[in-house]
A and B are shown apart, each in its own frame.
Chain A
Amino acid sequence: MPAKAKKKAAKAAKSAAPKEERTRLWLMYPPKQITQPIIWQIAQKFKVVTNVRQASVTGEIGIVCLELSGLRPEVKAAIKWLVSLGISVEPVEINVVES
């Protein structure tokens, strides 16, 4: 392959590769999940870095403000897994979609 084509292919591969991203979320746990070590589990199951910024835990709800970093597919998978547990996953802005 000519050098020019090689360079172009490398560039294309690079742009198609998953990108590192950082997302800021509010997690709201239903009562049955409050005592579970969810944040630890995320880091075990997915290649993501978790960074808790705020948290509030009562008997009725657990609220965690979390920064999640990693390759985009990993971050997306982690969010999907959280949702499957019944955890409400909101962007840090919470209700972006208004009336």
Chain B
Amino acid sequence: MANEKSFMKALKCRECGHEYPLTATHVCEFDFGPLEVVYDYEAIRGSLTRASIESRPQTMWRYRELLPVAGEPTVGTQVGFTPLVKADRLAKRLGIRELWIKNDAVNYPTLSFKDRVVSVALSRAVELGFTTVACASTGNLANSVAANAASAGLKAYVFIPADLEQGKVVNSLVYGANVIGIKGHYDEVNRLCAEIAGKYGWAFVNVNMRPYYAEGSKSLGFEVQEQLGWRIPQHTVIPMASGSLLTKIHKSYQEFSKLGLVPNTKWKVHGAQATGCNPISAAQKAGLDFFKPVKPNTIAKSLAIGTPADGFYSLRVMKDTGGHCDDVTDDEIREGIRLLADCEGIFAETAGGVTVGVAKKLIASGKIPAEDSAVLCITGNGLKTLDAVANHVGQTREIRPSLREFEGLLEAEGAACKA
């Protein structure tokens, strides 16, 4: 790898194409459109090959040329390269020829895909000279910023709604982050956090560091292609909150294809949402290219964004690739979690239940043909959302320390067996 070489060219407005220097900035001064990192693909072509990638450590940083850091990463160097599991039992249950699970439920260090975006944002923040980092979050992002900042010796501020469950707060407090609870409605908290981000000279990972932060999601797509044996999956089902993950996985397929690392085959990306917060899904199903904001009411809290920042762009990607979108109820989410756990031994958070539930619908309706192959993206660990399924997974059966009682229990269930 060309160690201290940057392959980034500029930040570019996704709306008007205006270019900006590679600083901590995120919106275009002309039309307030979001900025995105652009790369020097010709230079990357000379540095990044299948052989060079395979020679590197198994982390997300093996694709460093396509990630927005100027030098070697300094934060989250062990993140990524999570398992891609061939899910034969689940494939049979869902009625599809071939199914794979990209399991970011075991991502390091905080068990969600957010470690990817945060390690990129913080590595870039260090390069730009920041010593304090911040985020506004209701869960996974807060945990990841707190943990990764601690490991890098950065000061962290984490803003959360004041009524957030104690369990989620502990997962950030334990790393020594400054956790600030803000009282008020989501909209008010949202506006205040944007204001704080604008006022203080911190690296706010999902505000002024957003162009870099969002690029981290591409690593999930790079890994999928390599782990599949250097090919793009026919279908990818992706949970959507802001919609950013979907657009970045699509971008990862475009980039590998453009660089000749994978054959240029057709792919479809499909979006998954909860029915209780489905602005993108509702728009896609209605054939609209814009979404209408909704008030979230779902157990899938990690997807509960009623006004998704990348909603418009994710709708466009699904349209361009011929992908579809659907949504599932809270009961279907729980069923999806259980199905994945029961068939593959993977315990996903509620967003994973959404992905499995929507995949089931898309396969049943033929939108993902039964003879095709699909990848489902599981983005977080079920241990983080125990409350959502606690009363829906059966109960323990208690007995006294007596073999007779145990055998009586088995007999009562019609499952008696002799050793």
Contacts and interface: CB of A to CB of B under 8 A. Distances in A.
A92 B195 CA distance: 10
Contacts of A23: 195
B207 interface: yes
Contacts of B301: 99
Given A28-B293, A58-B290, A96 B141 contact: no
Contact of A88 (B30, B193, B242, B293): B293
Contacts of A90: 187, 190-191, 307
Given A24-B27, A88-B293, A95 B305 contact: yes
Contacts, number: 98
A60 B189 CA distance: 27
A54 interface: yes
A61 B27 CA distance: 23
A91 B194 contact: yes
A99 B139 contact: yes
A94 B305 CA distance: 10
B49 interface: no
B168 to A, nearest CB: 10
Task: Give the interface residue-count category, chain A.
Answer: 20 to 34
Interface in A36-82: 53-54, 56, 58, 60-61, 63, 65, 67, 79
A58 B197 CA distance: 32
B15 interface: yes
Contacts of A91: 190-191, 193-195
Nearest to B194: A91
Contact of B137 (A67, A88, A99): A99
Given A24-B27, A65-B32, A83-B187, A99 B138 contact: yes
B252 interface: no
Given A54-B15, A93-B26, A93-B210, A88 B136 contact: no
B135 interface: yes
Interface residues of B, number: 43
Contacts of B190: 90-91, 95-97
A99 B140 contact: yes
A79 B206 CA distance: 23
Interface-centre pick from A56, A89, A95 (highest chain B CB count, 10 A): A95
Interface in B292-335: 292-293, 301-305, 307-309
A99 B302 CA distance: 5
B186 A53 contact: no
A54 B29 CA distance: 12
A23 B32 CA distance: 11
B71 interface: no
B194 A92 contact: yes
Given A24-B27, A79-B191, A97 B197 contact: no
A84 to B, nearest CB: 13
B413 interface: no
B139 A63 contact: no
